[in-house]
Amino acid sequence: MGPYTITYFAVRGRCSALKIMLADKGQEWKEVVVDFPDWMKGSLKGTCVFGQLPKFQDGDLVLFQSNAMLRHLGRNHDAYGHDGKEAALIDMMCDGVEDLRLKYIKMIYQEYDTGKDAFIKDLPNHLDKFEAVMTKNKTGFLVGNKSSFADYNLFDLLLNLVVLSSTCLDSFPSLKSFVGKMSAQPKIKAFLDSDAYKKLPINGNGKQ
Ligand SMILES: N[C@@H](CCC(=O)N[C@@H](CSC(=S)NCCc1ccccc1)C(=O)NCC(=O)O)C(=O)O
């Protein structure tokens, strides 16, 4: 696999789950950081399948859609379950994470001042679904007995949510333990402690 190149804006956004997974799998990658004014000129945008970033290159394979990138790495780095049934459940959980991520993104970019408090108030109604799955599975992962791309996606989103509301996991012990264990994984810890990660804002509008 590889070499890997990630082309994105100078934000964590939709690429930090991907990078956390790559780091945990001991992989290296190149980054092409796109300046927003350059992006607005349209030459790169016109080459993107959906007119958007991130763009992910794995050798001569070029992918768009951040969840497709996670699935591709899941297939190639033993993070897509032990069989078709687990793979289907992992897909389901990744789609569930995407639903919550989209609500988060909408609040951050479109409704931060008027909608932040309501979002935080409603958050337990979403976190309790992931808490129930994590608790029922008993392994410390969403599905099966090893980390999948859905776990990296959830972990990244939970890190953002804890920045937004530091106490949001206090009523969810399985999720809190999950974040603690993932954060303590040596390769993940090294990446989260790196300047490459820390120097980037979570979102593109300075809100978090
Ligand atoms: N379904 C896609 C969504 C990709 C996406 O939304 N990309 C955004 C960036 S990712 C994101 S969280 N966007 C939120 C707002 C934003 C825009 C530009 C820079 C940073 C953030 C983008 O390319 N915006 C520029 C454009 O559409 O011309 C995926 O999962 O990759």
Res 1: pLDDT:
78
Q: Tally Cβ neighbours within 10 Å of residue 171.
A: 12
How much is the average pLDDT of 31-45?
97
What residues does 7 pair with on adjacent strands?
Answer: 32, 55
Give residue-wise pLDDT tens across range 58-117. Answer: 999 999 999 999 999 999 999 999 999 999 999 999 999 999 999 999 999 999 999 999
Distance 79 CA to ligand 1 centre (A): 25
Please report the atom of ligand 1 found closest to the CA of residue 11.
20
Res 60: pLDDT:
97
Distance 53 CA to ligand 1 centre (A): 6
Res 2: pLDDT:
83
How much is the average pLDDT of 183-190?
98
- Residue 5 φ then ψ, to 5°: -135, 130
Res 101: pLDDT:
99
Q: How far apart are CA 50 and CA 42, in angstroms?
A: 13
Q: What is the full DSSP assignment across 133-151?
A: HHHHH-SSSSSTTS--HHH
- What residue's CA is closest to ligand 1, atom 19? 204
How much is the average pLDDT of 166-192?
98
- What residue's CA is closest to ligand 1, atom 28? 52
What ipTM was predicted for this assembly? 0.97
Q: How far apart are CA 53 and CA 93, in angstroms?
A: 23
Q: What's the mean per-residue pLDDT of the chain?
A: 98
Provide the whole-model pTM.
0.98
Give residue-wise pLDDT tens across range 1-13. Answer: 789 999 999 999 9
